[in-house]
A and B are shown apart, each in its own frame.
Chain A
Amino acid sequence: MSTSDSADDFDSADDKLAGAKKKLGSRSSKPLNRSIGSDSDDDCGYRAPDNMAYQTPTSKHYKIRDSPSQLSKTGGMPPGKTKMETDADNNKAVEKDTRNANNKVDQLSKDFKRKTKLRNPSESSDDMPQDGKSPVVKSAEKNSGAISRSKRTQEQRKLKESSLGAKKLGAKKIDKLPEVNNKTPNKVINKHISNKGNTVMSLQQELDQCVDNKSGQEKVGSGRSDSEEPAELMSNLKFKDLFKPDGWENMKDNVEDLDKLAEDKFKPVLNKLSSSVEEENSNSSWGGWGGWGVSSLINTATASVSSLTTHVSQGLSILEETIGVPDPVKLAETETYADDETKSVDAIEEDAVDKESSELPSEETKDNPIQYLPTSFGFGNFMSGVTTLTKLVESTSNKVIAGGLDTLEVIGKKTMEVLQEGDPGLKKKRALLSDPNKPNLSKILREAKEKADVEEKMLEEKNMAKRVRFESLFDDYQGLVHLEALEILSKECKMKIQTHLDNLDIDDLSYLQGVLEEVETLCDIENDNYDDDDDENKNKSLEQKLEESCKDLGIEINYSKLVDVWNDMNSELEDEKLTNREVFAKAIAGLARFTAYSVERFHKTAELLLIKKRRSTVNESDSLIQITKILSSQMVSISNLYSSKIDKNKVETPKFDIHIGLTTITKEANNAYSYIQEAFMLLIPIVQVGVL
């Protein structure tokens, strides 16, 4: 039971590569079984005072260590390669997720490692009967060096290929799974696993001890030998495959073989590895490795790993504290013990652990991890899932190299760094994890849609407001700025006239003033006696009228732009499906556009008049008046055009008050009319300046 659960967890963890959230979810779903199953976790160990309980954890430790060890190897081949890969991947979003998953695994493994260090020495001596077998193991190890080497190479290649720690871990686990099964026969947790002799367990314990007590190099070596055994199995299997319940059963068949392998080849290998590195180099079978300087490689890997480990632990501690996860606390407390153990290992690793422990000082005070288990349930499914995973991992590994573990930690740490990018303290992600009421996907999507709808509506209203606002549209069509520019020219002309007048003697002054007043009179639209209502003009199109009026300006300008706008309006309204609201919007926009273009034409007219060589004030003023009248009356036409469309419109427009709409159109048409008039008034000084 428990095993399968935990297997699922791993499964989910693997899936998690696609997304941290998902992982959490899946884990949360399978929390409680584990506690019942009493896996070989710390909790279990504490709960069950019998030896078996202790053994189980140990075996798990071994397994975990194995996978890291392989990692460390990969790191060793090109020293620190794993780290480099991780760095390179940092920028890739997809891989971030993967790392996220890896990180969790790493964290767990790290914790296990601490535990292992803590327990293996003491527990094995106290509880485990296999202690006496360790010598045997060692002797066996010596004999299998050659075999292990070739397999190791294969493994390393594989590891290289997969930059992701999770994959590597999975692959290794496959290899070791059988071992685990073999070694943890009597344990309640691993019910479905076939029973294997105590010898295996003892072997593993032996290895573990070796790992703890020997130099980093030796550990690496032992780890290799362990992992090599199942090289065939390792090949293409993944995390998922390994931990599937089915997979477990299948494993049974292989278990015996594996055991054999373990005894025949493993022990020798371990022994050999445990002996000095120099021996390995001198050995002809290791020839390929000789040049490598295995020890240095290993050291390098270990060092890089441990330095990273520090960071990882920081990130993890933050995460743990913030989430309020009890399990991590428990685990952390073991760190203290681990410290003592670590010292015997190697200095680098020791430093790393010290830092970890120092970072979690409060956690040390807690003695009994079991106390936290209940609280962890309170925390939620997530934690229980984590615990399950933890237990499984712990139970599975027995032979691991410390350096390899550190490599995993490095990856985990890197992952944390990536995770924390743009999310200091992991606040967002923590919120996702810790929120028990976390909305499901459909809810999120629904909310997103609602939000989008609201935004769209607001945008629509805003656009609508803009659309029906004459002044805004007038500005958008550059009418305002043209009016402003025209005003600038007009003012300059006025100033020029005034300056000119100031410099005239009285006679000239009075004469010129008379001329200027005359021009002003000419430009008085109200007093204009030109009758544009005669039949001849009535039948002319806008285009014809404007063309005729422009002739007398004496400049190269046409007002065809305005004719185009007018034609556009008419063609637009031929659409039978227009609602009145749409017609209304078009009316305002049309008025604004027509007015803006009118002002623009006036502005251009002014500019061209000002650079005109020979001015003819009378013709110009007359022409401008005609144009102004045409444009002004066109505003009425435009208003009528839209109003009649709205009047006759049969398309229902809900919530649209026709009267307000019509009134607004009329109002804006008047507004447009006054803009035209104002623009024309600005033209007068420009005409006047021509008489100077």
Chain B
Amino acid sequence: MVEPIFDYQFRLILIGDSTVGKSSLLKYFTDGKFAELSDPTVGVDFFARLIEVKDGTRIKLQLWDTAGQERFRSITKSYYRNSVGALLVYDVCNRASFEHIPRWMMEARRHIEPHRPVFCLVGCKLDLVANGGRREVSKEEARAFADQYGVHHVETSAKTGLNVEEAFRTVTQEVYNRIQNGEYKVEDGWDGIKTGFARPGGLDFNLVEAEPAKSSCC
């Protein structure tokens, strides 16, 4: 559960091949836990977490965890549009997952247009490398790719938690910076960025705050 007190809501989407670790990454980020086994994601799942950017502004991250399986591709592309940020996730021990990144990226670009999302290239399962697993994507290569496209890059491990926070924090801060410099703004009909306290039925937080007297007592 997420406290309703936040200044902005950013919608971030995680895309990448199946089994690269998108859901595990999110589970660690929102729950601090890691599960060795998890069912493949059906369509899209949702996570949420509150995070603070450097100036203390509170951001609610609404995280869309898409299914990587090919059979869901036609569905998941429907979910891109309202995202302000996209995490391009690959497995450092899975060469193919890295080689598919450009496709994921192009797809996200295409569906999020005319908006230009913040991308972050996220390598997962770094713990496998530390435990003798064979790394198939070098850090330098990934970094070079990221530099080429002007996106952030970070290698993570949802098992140890290494850099998980940083991956999301980087994207969040970048989105926030773009709001600050005017590149992004809250728009009707686009849910990538929303201001806080928006509740169904037009309730804002103040109303909620005043509620107890009305609903729960006397």
Chain A interface (Cβ within 8 Å of chain B)? Answer: 461-462, 464-466, 468-469, 471-472, 474-478, 480-482, 484-485, 488-489, 492, 581, 584-585, 603-604, 607-608, 610-611, 655-657, 660-661, 664
Contacts and interface: CB of A to CB of B under 8 A. Distances in A.
A381 to B, nearest CB: 41
Nearest to B43: A607
Interface string B20-46: 000000000000000000000011101
Interface stretch (B69-77, B98-106, B112-120, B148-156): B69-77
A611 B75 contact: yes
B46 A657 contact: no
Given A584-B216, A655-B217, 8 more contacts: A465-B208, A465-B215, A468-B212, A485-B79, A489-B75, A604-B42, A604-B43, A607-B44
22 contacts: A464-B212, A465-B212, A468-B211, A469-B203, A469-B208, A471-B203, A472-B199, A472-B208, A475-B4, A476-B1, A478-B46, A485-B44, A488-B81, A489-B78, A492-B78, A581-B216, A584-B216, A610-B75, A611-B74, A655-B217, A656-B216, A661-B216
Cβ-closest 7 pairs across A and B: A607-B43, A465-B211, A476-B1, A478-B46, A465-B212, A655-B217, A464-B212
B182 interface: no
B48 interface: yes
A561 to B, nearest CB: 13
Contact of B200 (A477, A480, A485, A489): A480
Contacts of B201: 471
B1, B43, B62, B201 — most chain A CB neighbours (10 Å): B43
Given A462-B209, A466-B208, A471 B199 contact: yes
A469 B208 CA distance: 7
Contacts of B2: 476
Contacts of B216: 464-465, 468, 581, 584-585, 656, 661
A466 B217 contact: no
Size bin of chain B's contact surface: 20 to 34
Contacts of B211: 465, 468-469
Contacts of A465: 208-212, 215-216
A611 B200 contact: no
Q: Helix, strand, loop or mixed for chain A's interface?
A: helix
A415 to B, nearest CB: 32
B42 A475 contact: no
Nearest to B191: A484
Nearest to A607: B43
Interface in B47-75: 48, 62, 71-72, 74-75
Interface of B: 1-2, 4, 42-44, 46, 48, 62, 71-72, 74-75, 78-79, 81, 191, 199-201, 203, 208-212, 215-218
Contacts of B208: 465-466, 469, 472
A200 to B, nearest CB: 65
Contacts of A655: 217-218
A489 B79 CA distance: 9
A465, A468, A585 — most chain B CB neighbours (10 Å): A465
Given A472-B208, A485-B79, A664-B215, A466 B200 contact: no
Contacts of B215: 465, 468-469, 660, 664
Contacts of B71: 611
A468 B46 CA distance: 23
Contacts of A466: 4, 208
A232 B203 CA distance: 79
Nearest to A485: B44
A581 B78 CA distance: 43
A611 B2 CA distance: 32
Contacts of A661: 216
Nearest to A469: B208
Contacts of A484: 191
B62 to A, nearest CB: 6
Contacts of A464: 212, 216
Contacts of A492: 78
A480 B208 CA distance: 17
A346 to B, nearest CB: 50
B44 to A, nearest CB: 6
A667 to B, nearest CB: 10
B2, B62, B210, B212 — most chain A CB neighbours (10 Å): B212
Contacts of B217: 581, 655-657
A468 B203 CA distance: 14
Contacts of B79: 485, 488
A466 B212 CA distance: 9
Contacts of B191: 484
A492 to B, nearest CB: 5
A419 B209 CA distance: 41
A578 to B, nearest CB: 14
A312 to B, nearest CB: 36
Nearest to B81: A488
B200 A608 contact: no
B216 to A, nearest CB: 5
Nearest to A580: B216
Nearest to B48: A478
B44 A608 contact: no
Nearest to B72: A611
A343 to B, nearest CB: 53
Contacts of A480: 200
Contact of A608 (B42, B78, B81, B210): B42
A468 B209 CA distance: 11
B140 to A, nearest CB: 37
A655 B214 CA distance: 12
Nearest to B211: A465
